[in-house]
Every structure is written in structure tokens, then in C-alpha cells.
Structure 1
Amino acid sequence: MKVLITTIFDYPHEGGLSTHVTTLKKGLETSGHTVDVLSISNISTWKKKLLAQGPGFLMNKLKKGKGQLTNDKQRMKLLAELIKDHEHHYDIINSQDIFATLASLETNLPVVATIHGYYAYEAISRGAIETDSSEAKEIKDLERKAYTKAVANITVDQRIKDYVYETAQAEATVVRNFIDPEPFLKPGKEIRSKFGFPENAPMLFVPRRLTEKNGVIYPLIALKQIAEKHPDVILVYAGTGEQLPAIKKKTSEFNLEDHVYMLGSVAHSEMVELYKTSQIALIPSVHSHGVEEATSISALEAMGSGTPVIAGAVGGLKELIDHRTNGLLFADRDEKELTHHILYLLDNPLQAQDMANKAQQKIQQIHSHSAASEKFLDIYAKAIQKESTPSF
């Protein structure tokens, strides 16, 4: 089968969607299929800046949020032109966002849409558009169109599946997120000296984009009390986002500059080693403007690396982690419970390792890219058959 994956976002980029695409591509290609990716990165830089960045920048001067929608629609048009030039090489398109779905629908190929989240609500959550604005309404309308026009929808957790049905009365199949377990099973390499971490300091690792829904401020709030009991502990962030100024400000207020490391964007190969060298991985997601975490790829990677995981008890994380069996969950925005869990794992390394071992086993058995690619291929085949069957 020849598969074209499409997205209006840059590829590769920092974040779970890009990792999902890379890992799915590898799984499908390992099975002998051909997979290519078309994204906004395939557009020339000058055209992208002139048509898909400049207009939105100017529109945002007039009204906040208008620029975001303008740029997304421009990206959709550019991607649609690109797809039309390449469609004859493929059997099916697997789009990765609503605008890529709408762009892909302009071809004669069946389109399967993978839905990673709540497009309108996530734009509101990160401050790109205003709540109840005309832009929010239009994006919701575009979501409905994308969900209903795709031949099949795939969601990464049950709650997003419910959202698709509530939004558009459209059906979807849940295929939970997945990873390639192989890199996480290899012996770890020394990486602490590269980033200047103290050699033996207990390391708390936050492998997250620095956005509000990812709850990245809460490990820092917990750190104040944890450092009193473990004065050599360090908190490491790998990611970028709009919460960076707030984290830096709070770090200064708490006088924790010697304990906090902000790495920014990190190559995936180094992320693998950071997971392995950390004592605890934190996925502190929270509810934010109607948005909940899906089956976080960061959580899957942490579990696959054999590192104990503490996560916010929201969205797909509740489906992924069995509390006190293969990880720990804390209530939404409850920094006291988060603090308690961190101290428990630091003070009870045998119990922490037992949870980590069980988590790693679960990832290998259920959340591997090989198992996921078989599910995708089944959905692709049914979509192709559905499109080729004449309707009367």
C-alpha cells in the first residue's frame, strides 16, 4: 500500500504529532508499505512567509485570533495545491489535523483522518484565539466538516472519540498512541555531563511542551518542598512554549535557580537518554479550556524507558496508567498530591522500579508501533474498499 500522510504543521517539529507521524511511518515501512509525508515544510520558505505567516501577523494587529485562523486557512490552500501534484502516486491519504483533512479532500483519494485533540479548544487554551469568538465558531464548523467528510476517523483516546461524535455526530475508531520501544530497551549512554547536571543528583524530568494544558508549572511548585528533603534534587524541562516566562519567574521567586534546568528543544535521541537517566518522569497535565491530555506520547516514552511515571489524572492518561501498579496519578492541579507522590518514589526506589518495570512491559505488549501499524492498515483497507464500492 502507498500511504500519504499530510499536515499543515512543519514536519518534523517539536511535539507529539510529529513523533506520532515518524513512528507510524516506521511501523508501516517495516511491514513493507510505502509512506511519504507532505507538510507545510515542503513549501518554499518565501512562499510560506509571504502567504501563510505575513497575512496572519497583520490580521492579529486588527483582532486577536483572526491571524491564527487566516494563517491556518492559507496553509490549507498551499497544502491542497501540493497534494494535488502528488496524489496519483498513492492509494490513500492519512491526514493529521482538520485543515490537512480538508486540503486532502480535494483529491480523488480516500481520506482517513487521525484526530489528536480538540482543535478549537486547544487554540483557545494556548491563547491563539478568544473564547466564544467568531474565529472559534468558524474553527468548530471546520472541525465538523472535516470529521463528517473523511471516509474514516481515528482518535487517540476514547474521550476524543466522544468529542468527535458530540461535535459532528461522526464515528471514529480509537487507536491509542504508540512508540517504537527499541531505542528505549538499549543500554543508556552518559548524558548528564553534556547538560551540566550534577552526576548523582536525583532528577525529575518534564518532557513537555511548555503550555498551560501540560501543567508544567506544578512540578516547580512541588519542587520547593521536595528540595527541603532532597537538597540535591534537580528539575529538568525539555520543551518550549508560552509558559516559559512564568516558569522562570516562579523559579526566581522560590530561589530554586540551582535546581532547575531549562533545555529548550532537544533531539529525540537525546530525549531517550534523558528519560533513562532520570529518577522520575512527570507528565503533569491539567484540564484547560475544555482540553484534556490524550494518550501522551511523552508518557508512553517514559514508561517504555523503564522510568517511574507520575501523571495528571486527566484524559487518556487515566486510561494509560494503572494507579499504583505501573505509575502514579494525581488529581487535577493538586500540587500537594504531586509532591507526596514524588517524595514517595524518591524514598522508595524498589517500589518505584517495580512500577517502572510493569509500565515497560505494558508498552512493549500493547503500545508498540508494530501493533499500531496493523490497526491502521486495517482501517486504510476498509476505507479504500468503501470508496471503491458504488453507492446506489
Structure 2
Amino acid sequence: MNIAIVSLDNSDRILAGGKHVHQQLLKKALQKQGHSVFMIFPKRTLVFLVGRIILAILTKLHLLNRSFSYTWTLKCYCKSLSRQLMLVSQEINVVFAQDPVSAVAAGHVLTNAVPMVMTLHGYLARESVNYGNYSADEQKKVTKEALWYERESLKFARRVITVDSKIKSYLSEFFDSQKPVTVLKNAVNPELFRLLDSNSSKILKNELGLPENKEIVLVPRRLVRKNGVDIAIRACAELKKKNISYYFVVIGGGPEHSNLSDLIRQLGLSSEDIVLKGDTNHDLAIKYYEVADVVLVPSVVRDGVEEATSLSMLEGMAARKVVVVSAIGGMKEVIVNKINGFSFEQGNVGELTKLLIGLKKLTNEERSKIADRGYHDVCEHHHYERHAESYLLEFEKSK
């Protein structure tokens, strides 16, 4: 069978975020099953790049607001995807669109001739606002544009996959959608992660420039408001006051980098307490997981955006680490507190601090029992090959 995976995010070029990893794992699993997979992403042509430069200059001169650039970019991406799909429309049997814009692009070309299943990894409108630091007026225009794509995509998709039940509820409540929806949580490849002995861990810590004598709290989060990295930083400061020895490592870049760097300085933290590593490709991120003692996902609900089934959480479980998450969204659907990980009230720095102190009191055997249960649950319910089988089942239902 010929399958097109269509997405705004080019995971062949950048492999960093959860959506990127999801797409590549889906491709890998489908190919292992003998299918041909077309990966279709927007092409950044010379005309597009020149247009972006001109828009950036006009925006800086206050002749255009940033919402215009957002709208123009989505239209260019949508047209690029449509053009590419037109070239292969006679060859493909199904489209797996990975966001509303991709679904609209496919819908305009295929017009229901080819079944399309759309996956929603999040909320296009709300996340665009959360990530963009727009003014109030710009937020309204960005929201209006993104909501159009969300609403329009539901006209074309025969079935919808959401990565948690909250997004499913969003479709029915906000759009009054009657479209068939399946909740299919994210997946991982557990084979990517090694379980290191103490000597190998020490060597890898040296390679990564991390202290040998401190337990590592890994915060694998893009630096946007809803990911709650500020909560992790505040917990780090509280632990320092109490002379509790942890070293926080944040991997991921984003628009909040400057604000978070300022917060680190304001709280009296230094490079001996915490480091912001910036954008980190997936191959390197795996190494950080391998040396981590705790994987922390401190997301919060901001701008109406709630964490779905966090890939960072699942990868922490796949790496057999103690995983700590805020009890929101898809994460509270996966983590059973004190059984396969730990959870705390979102934004509650005191509770998080107390939890991390409590982890110090656990024996290695107690930690291993929880980490092993997390690993078992990931292999049982979130393995990427089973995930691909579920995708194909959705295709069968869409015929």
C-alpha cells in the first residue's frame, strides 16, 4: 500500500519535538510492514524565503504586524503541500495528515477520492498563541486564522486521531464535531535507550559536561509557556535553599529562553545548579535520558493549552527512569502515582520540591521497581509498531 504522511513539520530535516519523532516512528513501522511511505512537507522555495525576509523587515519597521506573517506563512505551506500531493494523488491509497493545515491541503486536492485520517497532536489556535508572544490584537487575528484551518480540516478528514481525550472533547465541545474520533496516545521506540552501569554513566556524563556527583533531573521541554520550565527552575531554587543536591538539565529551545535565563539569575541559581542546553536533536537527547536519574515534565495549562500524551514522559519511561509529571492532560491518563511514576499538582512548586526530596529517601530497589513498571507499561501500550497497526485500523474504518 502507498501511504502519504503529510505534515507542516519537516521531521526529515529536524528531529527534535514529539511530533517529529512520532512521524518518523510511524514511517519506520509502516515500512517494516512492507508499505511504501511518502513523506510530504512544505518546501521552502527561494520565493518563500525572500518573502519571509521582506515580511520580517516590514514587521520590524512596524509597517506590518506579526499576525500577517503568520497568516501568509500558513497559506504558503498549505499551497506547497497541495502542489506536492497533486503529483502523487494517483499513486496513494491513504493520507495520514498530522495537523489541520496539512488536512486542508490534502482535502483541497483529493476531494475525498483518497481516504484521509487526521491526527491532532494539540490545538493549532491555542498553541500558536502560546508559542508566539503576540500582542492582544495579534492574538485575535492569529486565533481566527488558525480556527479556520481547524474547522475546515474536519470537513475533509474521514476519521480523526487525537493523542488524548482532552483534545477529543475539544472537537465536540468547541466545533460541535460529529466526526469519528479515536484516542491514540503517542508511541516510542524503547530499543533506542540503553540501561547504563555506573561506570558507563560516569563516562557519558563527562562527555556531556555534567557533574558526576549529583543526581540529574532532566527537563526535556521546549521553552514555551505551557511547558512549565519556570516551575522546574523555581523547584531547583527551593532545593538549593534546603541543600538538596540535584542538577537540573533543560534540553530544548524556544521563545522563553531569555525570560527563563533571567529567572535563573533572579533566583540566585548558577551553572552549578542548572543549565539550559538549548535546541537538542533527538540522537543527543537520548544520551541525556540515559544519564538522567529523574525525568521531569512540569507542564501547566496556559492560554487554554493542556499537555497531551507527552513524548518526553514516554521516553523517560522507555529509558527506565523515574518520571515525574504534572497531573494534567494525557499525562494523568498514563502515570499512576507511585506505581509507574510520580505526579504533582500543576504549578505547585512546593509539592514538586517535596516530591523530589522524597525521591532521595527511596532505596535503589524502590526506584527500580517504579521505573521498571513504567518501562513495562510503555512496551505494552505505547510501542511504535503497535501504534502503526492502530493507524492502519483507522484507515480500514475510513473506507
Moved more, 130-139 or 298-307: 130-139
Is contact 2:223-2:254 (8 Å) kept?
Answer: yes
Query: In structure 2, do the counterparts of structure 1 residues 354 and 74 end up closer, same or farther at CA, with 3 Å as the change threshold?
Result: same
SS at match of 1:256: coil
**Superposition deviation, residue 362 in structure 1:** 0.2
Q: What residue is the counterpart of 2:173 in the other structure?
A: 166
1:250, 1:107 → 2: CA distance? 48
Query: In structure 2, do the counterparts of structure 1 residues 135 and 253 end up closer, same or farther at CA, with 3 Å as the change threshold?
Result: closer
Moved more, 360-369 or 189-198: 189-198
Q: Determine if the alignment matches structure 1 residue 34 to structure 2 residue 36.
A: yes
**Superposition deviation, residue 361 in structure 1:** 0.6
**Superposition deviation, residue 320 in structure 1:** 1.0
Q: What residue is the counterpart of 2:27 in the other structure?
A: 25
Structure 2 unmatched ranges of 5 or more: none
**Identity percentage of aligned residues:** 27
SS at match of 1:37: strand
Question: TM-score, normalization: structure 2?
Answer: 0.90
1:202, 1:298 → 2: CA distance? 19
SS at match of 2:109: coil
1:327, 1:193 → 2: CA distance? 28
Query: In structure 2, do the counterparts of structure 1 residues 53 and 345 end up closer, same or farther at CA, with 3 Å as the change threshold?
Result: farther
**Superposition deviation, residue 265 in structure 1:** 1.9
Query: In structure 2, do the counterparts of structure 1 residues 52 and 101 end up closer, same or farther at CA, with 3 Å as the change threshold?
Result: farther
SS at match of 1:292: coil
Q: What residue is the counterpart of 1:125 in the other structure?
A: 130
**Superposition deviation, residue 23 in structure 1:** 1.0
Is contact 2:195-2:319 (8 Å) kept?
Answer: no
Is contact 1:147-1:164 (8 Å) kept?
Answer: no
Structure 1 unmatched ranges of 5 or more: 386-392
Is contact 1:164-1:171 (8 Å) kept?
Answer: no
1:139, 1:149 → 2: CA distance? 16
2:391, 2:141 → 1: CA distance? 35
2:255, 2:45 → 1: CA distance? 24
SS at match of 2:340: coil
Letter in 1 for 2:35: H
**Superposition deviation, residue 233 in structure 1:** 2.3
- Equivalent residues in 2 for 1:1-392, closer than 5 Å: 1-11=1-11, 12-13=13-14, 14-40=16-42, 43-51=43-51, 54-55=54-55, 58=58, 61=62, 62-108=64-110, 109-127=114-132, 129=134, 133-168=140-175, 169=177, 170-185=179-194, 187=196, 190-230=203-243, 232-257=245-270, 258-350=272-364, 351-383=366-398, 385=399
Is contact 1:10-1:39 (8 Å) kept?
Answer: yes
Query: In structure 2, do the counterparts of structure 1 residues 83 and 336 end up closer, same or farther at CA, with 3 Å as the change threshold?
Result: same
Letter in 2 for 1:6: V
2:160, 2:57 → 1: CA distance? 32
2:247, 2:105 → 1: CA distance? 45
**Superposition deviation, residue 172 in structure 1:** 1.1
SS at match of 2:234: helix
Letter in 2 for 1:173: T
2:316, 2:53 → 1: CA distance? 35
Letter in 2 for 1:147: L
2:337, 2:209 → 1: CA distance? 33
SS at match of 1:285: coil
Q: Deviations over 1:149-178 (max 9, x none)?
A: 211111111111111122331331111101
Q: How many residues align?
A: 382
